[in-house]
């Protein structure tokens, strides 16, 4: 139920909490419902309807979380910073992702991963590290309503989708327009789930 306090503590000690707010992508306005678990603590699964507080031991740490909504939704993995007081988690519909790929004429390859990020603050461009060649044709930018953007960069309030990301560790970088500041996040691309970056604040 909304406001339920979910104790998913992995260690002994004083706990700090993050308010997790679940919404439906791409508009991130309607509340959603999903099952959440901390990676490495498979026995601790909690359902969040709308919003709930997740507690864990205090400390400067980042925890991997997986979320699964109803059938037809993507299994999501994202990093949760225990120092943040709240985070908005958009649930991704598989049909919407497919529509975005078709609309941009992306040739989806088997055995590759997908990364989806939502960006606040400024217009931006996104890049993947150059450990392996990554074609810009695999990048889809969308606006706050989930519509494909054709101008080759993203807008504040919208986001990006990286299709066909090679498996393994990668750094995803977002660069605000008119700035030399770089936001980056390291993640592991897998074919069995979608990596979510819930909030990039530029």
Sign of CA dihedral 120, 126, 132, 133: positive
The residue out of 70, 91, 112 marking a domain boundary is 91
pLDDT band at 15 (very low <50, low <70, confident <90, very high): low
pLDDT band at 106 (very low <50, low <70, confident <90, very high): very high
Verify that 31 and 101 share a domain, yes or no: no
CA distance 33 to 91: 8
pLDDT at residue 8 greater than cutoff 50:
no
Verify that 15 and 110 share a domain, yes or no: no
Q: Any bridge partners for residue 27, and if so which?
A: none
pLDDT band at 182 (very low <50, low <70, confident <90, very high): very high
DSSP assignment letter at 25: T
Verify that 194 and 106 share a domain, yes or no: yes
The residue out of 28, 60, 91 marking a domain boundary is 91
What is the SS3 string spanning 130-177?
Answer: CCCCCCHHHEEEECCCCCEECCCCECCCCEEEEEEECCEEEEEEEEEC
What are the helix (H) ranges across the chain? 94-104
Pairing of strands 76-81, 33-38: unpaired
What is the per-residue pLDDT across 53-92, written as a single tens digit (0 to 9) for each? 877 656 657 888 899 887 778 999 999 887 788 889 999 9
Lowest mean per-residue pLDDT among 11-20, 73-82, 189-198 = 11-20
**Mean pLDDT, to the nearest integer, of 28-53?**
83
Per the structure, the count of domains in the chain is 2
Verify that 141 and 60 share a domain, yes or no: no
Verify that 59 and 105 share a domain, yes or no: no
What is the per-residue pLDDT across 122-169, written as a single tens digit (0 to 9) for each? 999 999 987 677 899 999 999 999 999 999 999 999 999 999 999 999
CA distance 160 to 63: 23
Of residues 41 and 198, the one with the higher pLDDT is 198
Asked whether the beta carbons of 54 and 36 are under 8 A apart, the reply is: yes
Domain that holds residue 45: 4-91
| Domain CATH code at residue 196 | 2.60.40.10
CA distance 2 to 17: 15
Verify that 101 and 186 share a domain, yes or no: yes
Q: What are phi and psi of 15, to 5 degrees?
A: -110, 150
CA distance 182 to 18: 26
pLDDT at 40: 77
Verify that 18 and 99 share a domain, yes or no: no
Verify that 65 and 160 share a domain, yes or no: no
Verify that 99 and 86 share a domain, yes or no: no
Verify that 82 and 126 share a domain, yes or no: no
**Mean pLDDT estimate for the chain:** 86
- C-alpha to C-alpha distances, 140 to 8, 34, 53, 115, nearest whole angstrom: 35, 25, 32, 10
The residue out of 73, 91, 109 marking a domain boundary is 91
Verify that 12 and 52 share a domain, yes or no: yes
pLDDT band at 101 (very low <50, low <70, confident <90, very high): very high
Verify that 106 and 87 share a domain, yes or no: no
pLDDT at residue 95 greater than cutoff 90:
yes
pLDDT at 42: 67
Asked whether the beta carbons of 144 and 158 are under 8 A apart, the reply is: yes
Rounded to an integer, what is the distance from CA 101 to the centroid of its chain? Answer: 17
| Domain CATH code at residue 43 | 2.60.40
């Amino acid at each position: 139920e909304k406001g339920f306090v979910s104790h998913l503590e992995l260690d002994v000690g004083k706990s700090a909490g993050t308010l997790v707010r679940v919404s439906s992508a791409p508009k991130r306005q309607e509340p959603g419902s999903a099952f959440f678990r901390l990676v490495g603590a498979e026995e601790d699964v909690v359902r969040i309807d709308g919003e709930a507080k997740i507690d864990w031991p205090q400390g400067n740490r980042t925890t991997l979380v997986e979320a699964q909504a109803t059938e037809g939704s993507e299994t999501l993995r994202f990093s949760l910073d225990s120092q943040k007081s709240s985070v908005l988690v958009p649930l991704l519909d598989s049909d919407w992702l497919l529509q975005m790929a078709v609309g941009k004429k992306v040739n989806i390859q088997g055995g590759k991963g997908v990364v989806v990020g939502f960006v606040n603050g400024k217009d931006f461009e996104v890049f993947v590290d150059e450990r392996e060649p990554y074609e810009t044709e695999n990048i889809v930018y969308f606006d706050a309503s989930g519509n494909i953007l054709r101008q080759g960069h993203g807008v504040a309030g919208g986001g990006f989708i990286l299709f066909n990301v090679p498996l393994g560790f990668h750094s995803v970088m977002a660069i605000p327009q008119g700035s030399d500041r770089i936001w980056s996040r390291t993640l592991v691309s897998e074919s069995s789930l979608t990596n979510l970056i819930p909030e990039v604040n530029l």
